[in-house]
Amino acid sequence: MSMLAIKHGAINLGQGFPNFDGPDFVKEAAIQAINAGKNQYARGFGVPELNSAIAERFLKDSGLQVDPDKEVTVTSGCTEAIAATILGLINPGDEVILFAPFYDSYEATLSMAGANVKAITLRAPDFAVPLEELKAAVSKNTKAIMINTPHNPTGKMFTREELEFIATLCKENDVLLFSDEVYDKLAFEADHISMASIPGMYERTVTMNSLGKTFSLTGWKIGWAIAPPHLTWGLRQAHSFLTFATCTPMQAAAAAALRAPDSYYEELKRDYSAKKAILLEGLTSAGFIVYPSSGTYFIMVDHTPFGFDNDIEFCEYLIREVGVVAIPPSVFYLNPEEGKNLVRFTFCKDEDTLRAAVERMKTKLKKK
């Protein structure tokens, strides 16, 4: 979709990376680290100052105290944290339950690990977890359940009731929980709850996060995994042979970023709330059926008012004839039919870009 966007001069509201830069104080910290000679291999599981900053931030956010040396592993982005967790802890034939739609890296890495993947579908309009369906899906072969909250691509935030239900299933059936929380600071309509903070869950949970979304520095690829020592041991074995170590000067800068005052996060949320409002109003005015998004920087819509058979056809039309890029979410399902009526837009763009895209859709899209 991004390549088609370039070809047709379309405005890219598809791929989830900002078209604006991260904060100066973080970039300056990276420059200082480079100039100070912090340019050789880092300690494999992270430079001490970053591991400590991650542990401090996790304590502040979740109330959980973790050992920065034994329970925090720095990775090359959250995608590597996901890969190291799956390859380090999942064996061929293990069953892992995902919630569809899901970030496509999950299924790909589970395939590499030889896992059997089950998907529980979250359905519009609210994308609630079908609790009884999930309970029925857990079997004696289930090794792990993987969640993503706030959730890409729907913008859903898992509720406390849903998290506690999943936690009970994990404890009753001795199942691990892998939690991707990269959008935790982009929670608009509810407070983010980390699964590890649910009573009895820390010992069986790997919490994964990254710098990129929160600080608009997606190209730095700084991520991490937090887990008790017995799970950290497994994921570190895989990490050692995936990347071994992550970019040294960027880790020093990431430590500075994570120690930003609360005012940074408050301003981030205000800024994204304004962007979200522009896109939300525009998509509604253009004629889409718009589904609620409580977190992330994505909005999911139903494109069927415009008369196309599926999401790929619609997204190709949107690029060629309207000049706007969106993502066809059918690729985020085990069964693509389940996503054929949906389209994902992102609002991690500057306000002028969002307004220009909205204007194109209002002007050129016609209902059928």
Is 88 in the same domain as 143? yes
Is 40 in the same domain as 16? no
Is 162 in the same domain as 179? yes
Query: Which CATH number is 339's domain given?
Result: 3.90.1150.10
Q: Which domain holds residue 334?
A: 1-21+263-364
pTM for the model: 0.97
User: What digits encode the pLDDT tens for the residues 123-153?
Assistant: 999 999 999 999 999 999 999 999 999 999 9
Token code pair at residue 96: 């892992």
Q: Which of 215, 230, 259 is at the close of a domain?
A: 259
Q: What's the confidence (pLDDT) of residue 90?
A: 98
Is 120 in the same domain as 225? yes
User: What digits encode the pLDDT tens for the residues 174-209?
Assistant: 999 999 999 999 999 999 999 999 999 999 999 999
Q: What's the confidence (pLDDT) of residue 185?
A: 97
Q: What's the confidence (pLDDT) of residue 6?
A: 86
Is 184 in the same domain as 167? yes
- The DSSP line for 259-315 is T--HHHHHHHHHHHHHHHHHHHHHHHHHT-EEPP--BSSEEEEE-GGG--SSHHHHH
Is 3 in the same domain as 59? no
Total domains present in the chain: 2
**Residue ranges of the chain whose pLDDT lies below 50:** none
Is 94 in the same domain as 111? yes
Report how far apart, in Å, the C-alpha atoms of 157 and of each of 78, 150, 296 are. Answer: 19, 5, 9
Is 185 in the same domain as 275? no
Is 165 in the same domain as 284? no
Q: SS3 of 223, please?
A: strand
Q: Which of 229, 259, 289 is at the close of a domain?
A: 259
Is 188 in the same domain as 150? yes
Is 65 in the same domain as 186? yes
Q: Which of 239, 259, 279 is at the close of a domain?
A: 259
Number of residues that this document lists for the chain: 368
Query: Which CATH number is 82's domain given?
Result: 3.40.640.10
Is 208 in the same domain as 319? no
Q: What's the confidence (pLDDT) of residue 2?
A: 76
Q: What's the confidence (pLDDT) of residue 5?
A: 83
Across all residues in the chain, what is the average pLDDT? 97
